[in-house]
Amino acid sequence: MAFPIFAAIGLGLSLLSTQQSIAAQNAQFNATKEAGKFRAQVLRRNRAISEERGVDARRRGVHEQLVQKSATEQLVGQSRANAAARGVEVGSGSAADIEANLRGVGDIEQSIIRDNAGREALGHRQQASQFEIDAQLEEAGIDSARTARDIGISSALISGASSVSSKWAAFNREGAFSGNTNT
């Protein structure tokens, strides 16, 4: 009489093991999914911040160009005033050459400012793109984890069914379920 009880316990433990394996697969997937969703959300926020920094770099570049242009105009004005104070004709000769050189240097400095702002903005746009790619990879990781979970559950079900059926067959051969006991 004890044999059928042990057989039932053995079958029950096989079923419980299968259920626990399935629960573990689900728990692992849920943890991976939530962590991946959180990381993707953080990466997308970082992308937005990088995009904002790119826009800010351009805006600062325009402002710095205007400041540089104003400084150049001030320098040209001082040069003209100094030349006029010394009695030099400001519209021609060396005074005009000095003014042209000052404007040329100012234009070069404005170009440098514009180019540097453009490079900084480009760097932020590239970083924003990389954040988006990383967020998409996180989401793809969730999909892969879902597939792995499904495969794991299928494997657990097959393994559990195989274990239960082989135990059932063995116990049945021993007469555990026929009411005949060989003990």
* Cα 31 from Cα 19, distance rounded (Å): 18
The least confident of 118-127, 129-138, 155-164 is: 155-164
pLDDT at position 44 over 70: yes
* Cα 133 from Cα 70, distance rounded (Å): 42
Is-above-0.75 flag for pTM? no
Model pLDDT, residue 180: 53
Average pLDDT over residues 15-33: 90
* Cα 101 from Cα 107, distance rounded (Å): 10
Q: When comparing pLDDT for 7 and 180, which is higher?
A: 7
Q: Which residues touch 63 (CB under 8 Å, ≥6 apart)?
A: none
User: For residue 177, what are its two tokens?
Assistant: 């379920």
Domain boundaries, the chain: 2-173
Domain 2-173 classification at class level:
mainly alpha
* Cα 113 from Cα 98, distance rounded (Å): 23
Cα angle at 41 between 129 and 45, to 5 degrees? 55
Q: Which residues touch 117 (CB under 8 Å, ≥6 apart)?
A: 57, 58, 60, 61, 62, 64
User: For residue 51, what are its two tokens?
Assistant: 């995009």
* Cα 172 from Cα 86, distance rounded (Å): 121
pLDDT at position 109 over 90: yes
Q: Give tens-digit pLDDT for 146-157.
A: 999 999 999 988
Q: When comparing pLDDT for 178 and 38, which is higher?
A: 38
